[in-house]
A and B are shown apart, each in its own frame.
Chain A
Amino acid sequence: MSDLLEDVQRELWAPAGIDQRDVEKLLERLSNRAINLGELFFQHQRAESWMLEDEIVKEGSFSVDRGVGVRAVSGEKTGFAYTEDINLNALRSATEAARSIARAGQNRQVAASQPVKADRMYPLGDPIDSLSEEAKVALLQRIDQAARAEDPRVKEVSVRLSASHETMLVVASDGTLGADMRPLVRMDVSVIVAHKGRRERGFAGGGGRSSLSRVADDDFALGLAKEAVRSALVNLEAAAAPAGAMTVVLGPGWPGVLLHEAVGHGLEGDFNRKGSSAFANRIGEQVASTLCTVVDDGSIHGRRGSLSLDDEGTVSQETVLIENGILRGYLQDKLNARLMNTQSTGNGRRQSYAHVPMPRMTNTFMRAGEHDPEEIIASVKKGIYAVNFGGGQVDITSGQFVFSATEAYLIENGRVTRPIKGATLIGSGPEVMTRISMVGNDLKLDEGVGVCGKDGQTIPVGVGQPTLKIDEVTVGGTQA
């Protein structure tokens, strides 16, 4: 990693004439009060996006954002300030503001910096430069043409291509010296279809931490166009959804948003330290059916939620949250881990230098089970098969969660029959997890479109699961 570290220092420090000694002085200044952790987070991010609509590439935008976040943690208290100017004066001023949180206290030793060694989970290069402008424009046009060629009922197509590259460097009084370069790319295709007075939307998207070649590949890109059209056409035929409690089978992949909402957020360390989660103080207890093993894993190559190291410089890992139904662990950042007498799990993440880190998910999924997906559907006499979702939300205190199906079908006598309109599925996380009665052998991770929001901060995440059968979920249709 030493080459990467040097490159990052050259990019973030050298233009401002900052060196290791300057940063150590700032950390010493941060640490001469009753402070457990002093931290400087340097970041530089470039982002670009292109948008096609009305058959032309009509918009493009490019942005550069850079700055430094300075944090002082004292017990449960956090002082935080940031600056968009990377220079010593601005850093000193932010340092003074951040340290004002703590009482005067004994001077703590700043640990000698130890470069963090982490396996690289993605290529380092800037994806914006991995494809020429001409090729980007041509790619969007190919997708547009493919979507329109797919079916005459396609009336509108919009396509967005986004790429960004983040360079980060975190230095902390506990000796952390971590650097990373993180590419992120994404393609979104949205279509409107109309037929006989009905109108519906379809969507497909995907991406990850890679160069643009991943989304520029024709199989992938034109596949998104096909998928967006297919899902829109299904909804053109959809009938009103039923209302009330019923058996629900969830398809593999993106429906794993269930886990993200029903258990993921409730297992974040801050909520459990504060006792505000429905899962607080339940480690070792049965919180899901014995078929369920749920993990969070930032160390999967190239995934949207992956990180080589987190924003606090902790190396990414696989964390088992629920094992055979038993609650095993929480997702931790440094602050919450220290207060709960445990170690960070590499889940300290922040939207940017201008935001404080919190325990957040990376890629959260359920491990595969034993059942053939067809066998699962065949076991349902009457129910719903939901294969795609818009998104979800959870109240971590009551455990009540919601997620909204965008593609779903009725199951009648063990067979998938008619499509039904997108309906909201709701339940209590702890209750629903105990009602999972079959787990498929078809684990799939999502295509790479997840965005997670918490306390006003958004970050990219991944989800996944095999086909699942849940014995009773409330379906919010209109057919009472």
Chain B
Amino acid sequence: MTDGKLAKDNPHSSIDLRESVLTLKNLVADILEEAVSQGASAAEVSASEDVGLSVTVRKGELETVEFNQDRGFGITVYFGQRKGSASTSDSSRSAIARTVRAAANIARYTQADSCNGLAEPELMPETLADLDLYHPWNTDAQAAEALALTCEAAGLNHDSRIVNSDGAQVSTQQSSRVYGNSHGFIGHYLGTRHGMSCMFIAEDENGMQRDHWYTTARDPSLLESPEAVGEEAGRRSVARLSPRKVPTGNFPVIFCPQMSAGLVGHFLAAVSGGSLYRKASFLLDSLGSAVMSHHLSLIEEPHLPKQIGSAGFDGDGVATWDKTFVSNGVVANYVLSSYSARRLGMETTGNAGGVFNVTLKGNEKPFAELLGTMGEGFYVTELMGQGVNGVTGDYSRDASGFWVENGELAYPVDGLTIASNLKDMLQDIQWLGDDLDSRGNVRTPSVLVGTMTVASN
């Protein structure tokens, strides 16, 4: 590689989704019109267009080049309080009529649900602020390959115990989203997301271990350097070599920022409307109750510029706003769509489809001091398995990471389980680290949980 023709062959490099926003909005308007003409009393439509490129290298050679280009729309029609949905990747004129007919046909057989319907029209945004989410990366497969090669080389050269590579990947994605409903609201936003990641396998006399690292951003100029990503992935893989076991017992546990985001995710799932109205939550009737340590707050900021989770409106077309889900340990808001809000006799929180840039805040100290406070315990850097029961809060997962002795990282460990109940864990978060990871939609620092059962053989 390469023969210099890649850029010319690349169907992606010339595409700018800004040019097709109007087409996509017109498509949504046409579909809504078709729904009304087929007799729907209300309708809502989501349409999307995505285009992207992903390049993987492995052991210094190009491995895959993938071009993606997706279009599609989904419609929900309401006939009174009955509803039906349909979706397709075909946006031809005949497909529009067919798809609306399919949704209308479903609505003939579903049963009336008094909570069904669009969100109230006054909740839609009148204007949409520019959240600065669209930053196309002027790159092509060759340039992406060069970056990925630099990233991988930085890791492979980091340590002689790195014996194998699972590849380095560079990807760039543009997306265009339009939501419209028969209140007359049609909103759109454009976004980009770029990333670089790599994974290495390190080996010593006690076997192989692997780990990875990544960077992601809406603006390519905010990505970490390929060297930094490669070296961090290499450092992490080597650090896991020759893991030991520890005796079964009760110990304090620190979740690294990437793993504590999972804990917050379990909390958010438990206070989301769907879990609450189905009575499938360990936090039923928790509004106004203290469910976390008193120093903790969980805030949502949907309008942060350039962030992964930013959006001006939710999946119901409802304007988003800043709010707190947890304030000083107390549940201040549930996570509700307009449907789940009606089911619970409440108001929507503008969270149809999920949350937007949630951050965990509380008493924090530098990571080194966090280890010191813990003394002896388990610093968890990876979790596997689905051992979380959202109904009871029972928690039991496979964990690996590092054992902490005398307030310092002592040696890697794996083949351990950590178990407790989420209700107890959330109340037992004693400190946060100062190492907030803001790459994702749920932004968390390390958290120190007072005690969990750690088991091994």
Contact = CB atoms under 8 A, between A and B. Distances in A.
| A-B complex is real | yes
Interface of A: 50, 53-54, 56-67, 76-84, 93-94, 96-101, 103-104, 133-134, 136-137, 155-156, 158, 192, 194, 198-201, 241, 243-245, 274-276, 278, 354, 356, 390-395, 397-404, 421-424, 426-428, 472-480
Instruction: Rank and list the top 3 A-B pairs by shortest CB-CB distance, nearest first.
Output: A476-B417, A245-B457, A402-B385
B62 A77 contact: yes
Contacts of B384: 393-395, 400-402, 426
Given A100-B65, A427-B415, 11 more contacts: A62-B86, A137-B110, A356-B64, A393-B384, A395-B210, A426-B417, A474-B415, A476-B397, A476-B417, A477-B455, A478-B419
Interface stretch (B98-106, B188-196, B226-234, B354-362): B98-106
B35 to A, nearest CB: 14
Given A54-B113, A137-B109, A397-B209, A422 B68 contact: no
Given A65-B88, A244-B455, A390-B386, A424 B396 contact: yes
10 contacts: A58-B113, A58-B116, A80-B64, A243-B455, A244-B457, A245-B457, A399-B207, A423-B396, A426-B416, A480-B455
A57 B453 CA distance: 42
What class of interface size applies to chain B in its complex with A? 35 or more
B3 A393 contact: no
B86 A80 contact: no
A245 B416 CA distance: 10
Given A61-B86, A404-B385, A424-B385, A192 B457 contact: no
B24 interface: no
Contacts of A104: 3
B284 to A, nearest CB: 8
Interface in B2-39: 2-3, 5-6, 9-11
Contact of A84 (B61, B70, B85, B111): B70
B280 A477 contact: no
Contacts of B210: 276, 395, 397-398
B87 A61 contact: yes
B208 A398 contact: yes
B278 A78 contact: no
Contact of B389 (A356, A393, A422): A422
B415 A192 contact: no
Contacts of B454: 243, 480
A424 B386 CA distance: 8
Contacts of B83: 58-59
Interface string B141-181: 10000000000000000000000101000000000000000
Q: Looking at B67, B86, B164, B280, which has the most chain A CB atoms within 10 Å of its CB? A: B67
B363 interface: no
B263 interface: no
A422 B387 contact: yes
Q: Looking at B109, B279, B417, which has the most chain A CB atoms within 10 Å of its CB? A: B417
B391 interface: yes
Interface in B54-106: 58, 61-72, 74, 83-90, 95, 98-99, 102-103, 105-106
A355 to B, nearest CB: 9
The secondary-structure label for the interface of chain A is strand
Contact of B6 (A50, A60, A66, A100): A100
A236 to B, nearest CB: 10
A52 to B, nearest CB: 9
A478 B395 CA distance: 9
B109 A133 contact: yes
A114 to B, nearest CB: 28
Contacts of B455: 243-244, 474-477, 480
Nearest to B274: A53
Contacts of A56: 110-113
B398 interface: yes
Contacts of B95: 64
A80 B208 contact: no
A470 B3 CA distance: 55
B456 interface: yes
A478 B420 contact: yes
Contacts of A82: 67-69
B361 to A, nearest CB: 29
Contacts of A428: 415
B248 interface: yes
Contacts of A67: 89
A54 B106 CA distance: 18
B414 interface: yes
Contacts of B105: 62, 133
A200 B392 contact: yes
Q: Looking at B99, B110, B420, which has the most chain A CB atoms within 10 Å of its CB? A: B110
B89 to A, nearest CB: 5
Nearest to B282: A199
Contact of A398 (B207, B396, B456): B207
A201 B280 contact: yes
A104 B6 CA distance: 12
B88 A79 contact: no
Given A62-B86, A476-B418, A200 B391 contact: yes
A354 B68 CA distance: 8
Contact of A243 (B248, B284, B414, B421): B248
Nearest to B339: A58
B201 interface: yes
B279 A155 contact: yes
A66 B386 CA distance: 32
B108 interface: yes
B348 interface: no
A395 to B, nearest CB: 7
A77 B1 contact: yes
A67 B71 CA distance: 11
B201 A424 contact: no
Contacts of B9: 96-97, 99-100
A103 B3 contact: yes
Contacts of B74: 63
A344 to B, nearest CB: 19
Contact of B64 (A61, A79, A83, A200): A79
Contacts of B414: 398, 400
Given A62-B106, A67-B89, A274-B166, A356 B279 contact: no
Nearest to A76: B63
Contacts of B209: 397-398
B71 A477 contact: no
B406 interface: no
B249 interface: yes
